[in-house]
A and B are shown apart, each in its own frame.
Chain A
Amino acid sequence: MAQVAHDAVTDADLGPFEIEDPELYHPKTFIGKYIWSQDAKVIAVQYGITAIAIGLVALALSILMRLQLGWPDAFSLIQPANYLQFVTMHGMIMVIYLLTALFLGGFGNYLIPLMCGARDMVFPYVNMVSYWVYLAAVLILVASFFVPGGPTGAGWTLYPPQAVVGGTPGTGAGIILMLISLCVFIVGFTMGGLNYVVTVLQARTRGMTLMRLPLTVWGIFMATVLALLAFPALFVSCIMMILDSLIGTSFFMPAMIAEGQQTAYDGGSPILFQHLFWFFGHPEVYIVALPAFGIVSDVLSTHARKNIFGYRMMVWAIVAIGALSFVVWAHHMYVSGMNPYFGFFFATTTLIIAVPTAIKVYNWVLTLWRGNIQLTVPMLFAIGFIFTFINGGLTGLFLGNVTVDLPLSDTYFVVAHFHMVMAVSPVLVVFGAIYHWYPKITGKMLDDTLGKVHFWMTFLGTYAIYYPMHYLGFEGMPRRYYAYGTDTAFMSQSAHTLNEAISIAAIFVAIAQMVFLYNIVRSLTKGKEAGPNPWNATTLEWQTPHTPPRHGNFDELPSVYRWAYDYGVPGAEQDFIPQNVPSEELAAARAKDEGAQGEGKADG
């Protein structure tokens, strides 16, 4: 640690800081270290590997879907029931089991303690259990592929009554396992989420005020708060649907016929389920997006060698988006048959949420303005993210505006929109983040050339998939169709050709991911040594005494003197100053300039 004593306050004045004994952080056995590990960093990697593994399954499913859509007469193995099962499982895995788990369980676990300057999560044991419960949820989900009838094919929204009664694949064991898996996931997530929230609030090292936190931590923190409050809605709807399915209650199930026969259900409200589902489902979009927003802010700032523009506005935008995300849910239900007068309210709130989101975009771009931009692989992904997110965000203004949603709802426009905004954008951030932090996690750099190949194939490939897809939606091509027939009057013949082209692009993108996986595995042994701080970054995780950081993260907990964005500070020796480096001249100069007022209140 550099010199700590400085200014009026010294370490001696601060008193003893730590109660825990760092000796505790040295598990002796392999199993203790890597399997039943309580080290947040190991848990993060466990989360990451599990999430990516199940994500690869979902990727394979998407390719199967594209094969059917591109060449509807070619693959006899893909039957209508299978197709719907692919659609459902692809969506559910990607949204919940990959993105939510990876951002919060993976990046959250790795980065929160390091960036806050903590030794670990506050409750390491609960944190460990959280991972194993998540793994159980994944295994239950996978099990549903092997039961009679297969997994549910009701769409990832699992709308009743079709999720529960005949005519949909997987209405037997498939849907039950899906619902149980979700409940288990939520229980596991709640354990992790408690940790993230309490760690951010209580375990920050000294000097790390809330307004000095890197935006990554802000994003993950707010996403966790959203998730903790929103997942109960999914939990409630899952429990009620399990009861409807297993013992015949009528929470969501109306009086209806199934396969021509009367059912015993009566009076239940399918719309009630949709309200509950989207009460969770819309915040879920931001549960995935906010960590991505945070991470991309830090990656941009680091590689543009410039402070993030408008930090305070960025924090407030994150909080505003989080709060507003709870009052926009019914924009998924404009044409659901709910009271149409709700449309006025939800269209207004939805378009209002565009304002803080736009501010974030402006600030990212303004961070590049007059920066000193290094086009490293993480930076490529970060800028690729901005481009994709602008596109996806703007099409959100079509669907959020209730009138414009009328012709576009349930068409491929929707598919294109949410893939742009919620799949490609966050995934580009995930890749950028992995290229950015892999050197810290493993001590090795990822291969630059392979990384660039991966970026260009992914970035251009996904744009080729989803940009034209919007226009299929304009033409009226409905989503979740197994086949379109060649005699649908309003669909031009060229639309079928376009579908084929999109499928080719999708396969191209899938191949790019193999390049990525190869790079990850190869660099473990063959990668260049990274050193402690290859990007010359300011945040605390780059200032650890060991790379990869050991259990306990720091030898002595760092003290924080500045925010996370001191890049290009005038007069400084280098173009970056780590958060834990005091600078006496600067502090003195500042004290003269600004007076003591700013400093006095800087502490939280």
Chain B
Amino acid sequence: MTAALIFLALLMGVVVWWLVRQTINVKPWVASAPQGIQSGVGFLPPSKLALGVLLAVITSLFALFISAYSIRMEVADWRPLPEPALLWVNTAVLFAASVGLQWAWRGAARENWPAVRRGTAVGAACALAFMIGQLIAWRQLTAAGYLVAGNPANSFFYLLTGLHVLHLLGGLVALMKTGGYVRAQAAAQARTGVELCAVYWHFLFVVWLILFGLLLST
């Protein structure tokens, strides 16, 4: 459970630090007129904060899977499976997807709509290519006799990669919706959408790097 605990400790640390800043030296019973426009966390719009919370939840999910992985690994029946070389290619493709969306994000910030369109297209296409690549990697492993129930190492491989792809799929749905805003030239929504998608893509890329590193190292 170490991975999950480390993640939680960090998160709780942030929460407590933030709370201390909010509350220290405050005498809540003292009445006063409101100052400023709103009492919320000023630096983030709600949608970005929501994405942040969602990413924390997803991180918790993967951290727990990694914890389970490292506990289950200790048992004697664990037989590591060979990672297909294709995974390296897929990693590069997912990186390209991230770059594409970063490009779109910069474009959106400058209201450069052609760049946004190209960037999101690259991001979406590469994400799709990554998913197809993962599927091919699955088929290669199945063909080589590494079935999902054959060994816990196999089970975890399919489970972790599958879950990661599912999250990417969810991201694609959001990206499609953002694509609609871009086409409709709805500047505000498009900008937010592209930004959120870019952050999500980077996040999933990092998650993939961690998962891939874990799979390679064990």
Contacts and interface: CB of A to CB of B under 8 A. Distances in A.
The answer to whether A and B touch directly, with their CB atoms under 8 angstroms apart, is yes
Interface of A: 6-9, 14-15, 17, 122-123, 190, 193-194, 197-198, 201-212, 225, 228-229, 232-233, 235-236, 239-240, 243, 247-251, 266-269, 272, 275-276, 279, 307, 311-312, 315-316, 319, 323, 326-327, 559-563, 565-566, 582-583, 586-587, 590, 594, 598-599, 601-604
B22 interface: yes
Given A315-B23, A604-B39, A6 B29 contact: no
Contacts of A601: 25-26
A233 B1 CA distance: 11
B163 to A, nearest CB: 8
Contacts of B31: 561-563, 566, 582-583, 586-587, 590
B46 A203 contact: yes
B64 interface: yes
Given A248-B149, A566-B31, A599-B32, A204 B38 contact: yes
A603 B61 contact: no
B149 A250 contact: yes
Contacts of A201: 40-41, 49
B39 A205 contact: yes
Contact of B39 (A209, A276, A599): A209
B53 A198 contact: yes
Interface of B: 1, 4-5, 8, 11-12, 15-16, 19, 22-23, 25-41, 44-46, 49-50, 53-54, 56-57, 60-61, 64-65, 68, 71-72, 75-78, 148-149, 152, 155, 159, 163
Nearest to B11: A229
Given A122-B50, A236-B64, A312-B28, A249 B33 contact: no
Given A207-B33, A326-B8, A563 B28 contact: yes
A602 B27 contact: yes
Contacts of B15: 225, 319, 323
Contacts of B159: 239-240, 243
B38 A6 contact: no
A598 B27 contact: yes
Contacts of B56: 228-229
B39 A240 contact: no
A266 B77 contact: yes
A225 B71 CA distance: 26
Given A206-B34, A275-B71, A326-B5, A312 B46 contact: no
A244 to B, nearest CB: 9
Nearest to B19: A319
B61 A232 contact: yes
Nearest to B51: A194
Given A201-B49, A560-B34, A598-B30, A269 B71 contact: yes
A212 B60 contact: no
A266 B153 CA distance: 12
A563 B29 contact: yes
A389 B61 CA distance: 32
B5 A235 contact: no
A25 B43 CA distance: 27
Contact of B152 (A202, A267, A327, A566): A267
Given A210-B22, A210-B39, A598-B26, 17 more contacts: A7-B32, A17-B37, A194-B53, A207-B35, A209-B26, A210-B23, A233-B64, A236-B65, A249-B148, A249-B152, A268-B152, A279-B4, A561-B34, A562-B32, A582-B31, A587-B31, A601-B26
B39 A251 contact: no
Contacts of B71: 269, 272, 275
Contact of B50 (A198, A269, A583): A198
B155 A9 contact: no
B166 to A, nearest CB: 11
20 contacts: A7-B33, A8-B33, A9-B33, A17-B37, A123-B46, A197-B53, A202-B45, A209-B22, A211-B23, A232-B61, A236-B65, A267-B76, A268-B152, A276-B68, A326-B12, A561-B33, A562-B29, A562-B31, A594-B27, A594-B30
B5 to A, nearest CB: 7
Which of B11, B34, B75: most chain A CB closer than 10 A? Answer: B34
A279 B33 contact: no
Which of A6, A198, A275, A586: most chain B CB closer than 10 A? Answer: A198
Contacts of B54: 190, 194
A602 B30 contact: yes
A599 B30 contact: yes
B33 A204 contact: no
A247 B39 contact: no
A537 to B, nearest CB: 17
Nearest to A233: B64
Contacts of B8: 229, 326
